[in-house]
Structure 1
Amino acid sequence: MQTKPFRIGTRGSPLALAQAHETRDRLMLAHNLPAEMFEIVVLSTKGDRITDRSLSEIGGKGLFTEELEQQLSSGELDLAVHSSKDMPTKLPEGLYLSAFLPREDVRDAVVGRTAPTLQELPHGATVGSSSLRRQALIRRLRPDINVITFRGLVDTRLRKLADGEVDATLLAFAGLKRLGKPDVPTQLLDPSEFPPAPAQGAICIESRIGDNNINALLADINDRPTFDAVTCERAFLGALDGSCRTPIAGLATIEGDHLRFAGTILTPDGSQSFDIAAEGHVSEAAKLGREAGEAIRAKAGSGFFTSWS
C-alpha cells in the first residue's frame, strides 16, 4: 500500500502544468485517490531556459526532457509527463513511454494579425514559427512568405504577434485548447494539406521499465488507440532519425482494429516533398511506421537528405 505521494515530474510552462494536472486528475479518478497522494514536481529544462535560438541550433528535442529523465532514472520521480511530439525517438536506458492520454485535436492553428488565413496573408508577409516542419509547409504553400524562428511560451508568442513582430504565427490547436484558448485561432489547417508532427496532440507518460507498481497505476489511464497511433508515428520518425532538425510530418488514424498512416518529408525550404501511406492491423503499428519510414527514405533517395544536415 502506497503511503507517500506519487511524484509527477513536469516542466513549468502553463501548458506543461495543465498536462501534469490532467494526468493527476485521471489517476485520482481511476484509482479513487485524493489529491494529496500526488505531488507535482516542476523542473526547469535547458529547452525552457534557452529561447533565443531554434531547437535545431541547440540540440533538438532532448532539451525538454533531460532533467526530468535524470530524476526519473534516479528514482526521485515516479513518472514524468510530456508532450509526445517533444520526445526523442531514443530514450535513456531503463525508461519507456508507458501510457498515453486520449489524444486532442491534431491540427495546427493559424493566429493571424493582418489576415485570418495563410492564403490571405499579404505578399511578403512575415510568419513566426519555431518548428522546421511548419516552416517548410508554410514555404511550400506560400513561397513568398518570410518565415522567421519564433520561440517562447504560448502567451509570449501571442504577445509578440499583438506587438506587430509578425503577421501571423502557428501553434498546435491541442495546446491552445488545453490552455483554455480555443477561440484564439483564426484558421485551423486541414491535416491532409498541412500534416501535423508525429505524436502531435498526445500527452505521454514516461516511467521506469520494471517498476511494476507505477506501471500498474498508469495502465488504467492508458488510451489504447492513442498508444497505437503514436507508436506508429514514432516508428516512422525513428526510421528517418527524426529530430527537431528535420521537417517530418506523420499521422496515424485508427478505426476499430484498422490503422491508416500518412507521412510526409520535406526539404527545409519546402520546395521538395515526398508522401507515403500505409495501412494494416493495429497490432502492427510499430512495423507499419518503421516500414513507411524506410520506404519514403528509399523513394526520396539519399541526395534528398543532404539538406537536413
Structure 2
Amino acid sequence: MKTIKIGTRGSRLALWQEEYIEKLLHEKYPDIITERVIIKTEGDTDQRSSLSKIGGQGVFTKTIENALLGNKIDMAVHSLKDLPSEMTKGLQLAAVPERGPAEDVLISADGHTLSDLPRNARIATGSIRRKSQLLNLRPDLLITDLRGNIETRLYKLYNQNLDGIIMARAAIVRLELKDINYAILSTDDMIPAVGQGAIGVQIREDDKETMSLVEEINHLNTLREITSERALLNELDSGCRFPIGGFAKITGDRLVLNGFIGSEDGKTIYKETISGMAEQAEELGRKLAQKFKGLGADQLLIK
C-alpha cells in the first residue's frame, strides 16, 4: 500500500485536526500508511494584516491546494470555515467527519459574559462577522483587530490591556485548554462562520483511490449541514470581505439554516431562517440567499 501524504498547516490546532483525520483513517484501515506534510500558507506568513485586507478566504488554504494539485500530497485537511465556498477547479471536498462545537466564545480574565462586560470594554477579534454582531448587541464595545495562533491570542488578552477576545469554542475543546474563563455565545446571538467547528478533507477530483478511503470517515448529517451553509455563502459572497454567517442543524430528517448579513459597524443586520428536508440541503442554502437578496440585504455586500 502506498503512503498517503496528508497536507496541513503547522499550527497547534491544524495539527490536532490532521491527527484526528489520521486516527479515523487508521481505525477504518489499520494497515494504512500515512505521512504528515506541513505547509506554510499566506495567512501563516502574514499575521499582521487583517484577513479582509489580505484576501479573506483562501489565505489559509490556497498554498495547500496548490500542493494537492501538484501531486505533492494526496489529501488536504482544512478547518472548513477557512475553505472558500467556491471549490478550486480539479479538487473536491471528499469527506467531513462529525462536527465539533460551532459556537463562538468570549474569553476574559474575569469570566465575564457579553451582557456584563463593563461599558466601553475593549474586545479583540480578527473577524468582521463577529465584530458586526458584537456591535449590534453591544454598540458601546471598542473592537480591536486580533491575529495569530491561539497561544498568541491568549498572550495578547493578558498582556495588551484587553477585556476579552472572541474565539471558536472548537479550538478550546479540541486543544483541551485549561484555566481559561470563557462564556459561550449562543448561535442565535452570534451566528457562526460557515463551516465553523467542522473539518474538511479535500482531494483531487480524479483520485478515485483516495476517495474510496476517505468516504468511509464521512458523517452524512454534518456534510449536509456544511453543504447548506456553503451554498448560502457561495450565492452571496465567496470570501471573508463581508460580515456573513450561516449555521445549519439537522434534527431527524429536517434541516434548519440560520443566516446572517450585517454591516461592519453592526448598525444594520439581517438574520433569517429557512427549514426543509435535510436531503435538500444545498437548495435550502440557495433559497435563503435569495431571501436575503429579496430583503435587499445583499446591498451590504457591495463595496
TM-score by length of 1: 0.95
Q: Does 1:117 align with 2:79?
A: no
Give the Cα–Cα distance (whole angstroms) in 2 for the partners of residues 21 and 140 of structure 1: 38
Q: Is the 2:242–2:301 contact (alpha carbons within 8 Å) kept by the matching residues of 1? A: no
Q: Is the 2:55–2:239 contact (alpha carbons within 8 Å) kept by the matching residues of 1? A: no
CA deviations 1:111-141 (Å, max 9, x no partner) are: 0125511221211111000011111111011
**Counterpart residue number, 2:104:** 108
Cα shift at 1:183: 5.5
Cα separation, partners in 2 of 1:249 and 1:182, compared to 1, 3 Å: farther
Give the Cα–Cα distance (whole angstroms) in 1 for the partners of residues 247 and 112 of structure 2: 25
> Which amino acid in structure 2 is aligned with residue 32 of structure 1?
P
**Counterpart residue number, 1:230:** 226
Stretches of structure 1 lacking an aligned partner (at least 5 in a row): none
Q: Is the 1:248–1:264 contact (alpha carbons within 8 Å) kept by the matching residues of 2? A: yes
**Bigger mean CA deviation after superposition, 78-87 or 244-253:** 244-253
CA deviations 1:218-238 (Å, max 9, x no partner) are: 011001111000000000000
**Counterpart residue number, 1:23:** 21
Cα shift at 1:256: 2.2
**Structure 1 residues 1-309: aligned runs within 5 Å:** 2=1, 4-33=2-31, 37-114=33-110, 116-181=112-177, 184-301=180-297, 303-306=299-302, 309=303
Give the Cα–Cα distance (whole angstroms) in 1 for the partners of residues 155 and 298 of structure 2: 41
CA deviations 1:195-225 (Å, max 9, x no partner) are: 1111110000100112110000001100111
> Which amino acid in structure 2 is aligned with residue 211 of structure 1?
D
SS in structure 2 of the partner of residue 229 of structure 1: helix
Cα separation, partners in 2 of 1:303 and 1:221, compared to 1, 3 Å: closer
Give the Cα–Cα distance (whole angstroms) in 2 for the partners of residues 170 and 127 of structure 1: 7
Q: Is the 2:109–2:181 contact (alpha carbons within 8 Å) kept by the matching residues of 1? A: no
> Which amino acid in structure 1 is aligned with residue 211 of structure 2?
N
Give the Cα–Cα distance (whole angstroms) in 2 for the partners of residues 162 and 299 of structure 1: 42
Give the Cα–Cα distance (whole angstroms) in 2 for the partners of residues 305 and 70 of structure 1: 29
> Which amino acid in structure 2 is aligned with residue 139 of structure 1?
L
Cα shift at 1:181: 1.4
TM-score by length of 2: 0.97
Identity %: 35
SS in structure 2 of the partner of residue 268 of structure 1: coil
Cα separation, partners in 2 of 1:216 and 1:264, compared to 1, 3 Å: same
SS in structure 2 of the partner of residue 47 of structure 1: helix
Cα separation, partners in 2 of 1:61 and 1:302, compared to 1, 3 Å: closer
Question: How many pairs are equivalent?
Answer: 303
Stretches of structure 2 lacking an aligned partner (at least 5 in a row): none
Give the Cα–Cα distance (whole angstroms) in 2 for the partners of residues 242 and 302 of structure 1: 13
Cα shift at 1:43: 0.5
